[in-house]
Structure 1
């Protein structure tokens, strides 16, 4: 049975369609998982990358107490990935990109020598053998269009740290009328039903 890490990043709380779709999937998987780690990146926000955080992630002996805390948090986030077989990521599209809260998570887990390494032939991801399910919701229709900059960003970031088995589930047209939104959400639920734990 799978160990699952769930990441939620919607700022809409109880009105979040991405969170609702992820919860729908978890309900389908009830009894099929060994353990679920759920991290709401909005209710428990992570520090934003700045000079102090970047220096903390490099480690060393000269870190302030605050930087040591950031490094320990980064280690914890990475340990959560390593302990999981499957990562479920709720990634609504805000202004053609992932929410800031999810970007902060990537900034804290992308660490040279820890989650990726540089080689003569380029970077190699170290977080391998993970299955990733990305549930992305959008007000408009962007899938397979130039306006969908979120999907390639996530593929690149996940692949950079070694996670290449990525399945995207799209909930689109959510701001284009009730009928289109309902159809899209039903299609997303059907796609989720085909994913096994």
Structure 2
């Protein structure tokens, strides 16, 4: 069965618009494609990269100590989830003009040389074979595509960097400006998914 990996980045488990929109999108995609859904809820503590992690990651895999393998085991599990997914849904709010810290930590855990990308003489090449990514972005006041939107283009770039080229942004921004318009705009994209 094909897998769809869902990443929830909102720190709110109840009342989260990004989670509600993801529920709608997941229902539509699962019905249409018969996906098995794997959920990664980022409220459940994603570790930050630290010096020990960096040293372990940049040690040749054949030469890693058991301690270094243990340090990388969580990251290895996240990478394995991505490698087994055919599709990806990331649902994230914008916090203070950026992604939540937990989503940044998740990206730091999965963006790994020799695992999800490699450097070549022609520059970096992504290694993931996820066919499609849907990125739901919600905000109170930051409008996607505006000069203060630092989230949508960054997510599009980092996903492409690891090999996910087909990225659809679902715009749920400006909820505190015009909630109805923001939700209608997002729902149109979800219907077209």
* Alignment TM-score > 0.5, same fold: yes
Report the alpha carbon displacement of residue 135 of structure 1 after superposing the two structures with TM: 0.2
Shift of 1:62: 5.3
Correspondence for 2:185: 187
Alignment partner of 2:14: what SS?
helix
Structure 2: which 5+ runs fail to align? none
Gaps of 5+ in 1: none
Separation (CA, whole Å) in 2 of partners of 1:150 and 1:84: 23
Q: What pairs with 1:24-103 in structure 2 (closer than 5 Å)?
A: 24-31=24-31, 32-42=33-43, 44-60=44-60, 61=63, 63=65, 65=67, 67-103=68-104
The 8 Å contact of residues 96 and 150 in structure 1, kept in 2 or not, is answered as yes
CA contact (8 A) 1:59 1:71 kept: no
Deviation at 1:74, TM superposition (A): 1.3
Is the contact made by 1:57 and 1:108 (CA closer than 8 Å) also made in structure 2? no
Whole-angstrom CA distance in 1 between matches of 2:173 and 2:186: 9
TM-score by length of 1: 0.89
TM-superposed CA distance for 1:59, in Å, is 4.3
Aligned to 1:110: 111
The question of whether the paired residues in 1 share the 8 Å contact of 2:56 and 2:64 is answered with no
CA RMSD of aligned residues (A): 1.7
- Structure 1 contact 173–181 (Cα < 8 Å) conserved: yes
Return closer, same or farther for 1:70/1:186 CA change in 2, 3 Å cut-off: farther
Q: How many residues align?
A: 190
Q: CA deviation at 1:24?
A: 1.3
Preserved contact between residue 52 and residue 71 of structure 2 (Cα < 8 Å): no
2 CA distance for matches of 1:18 and 1:86? 18
In structure 2, the CA distance between the partners of 1:90 and 1:118, relative to structure 1 (3 Å rule), is same
Superposition map of 1:157-172 within 5 A: 157-172=158-173
Give distance in 1, aligned partners of 2:183 and 2:12: 17
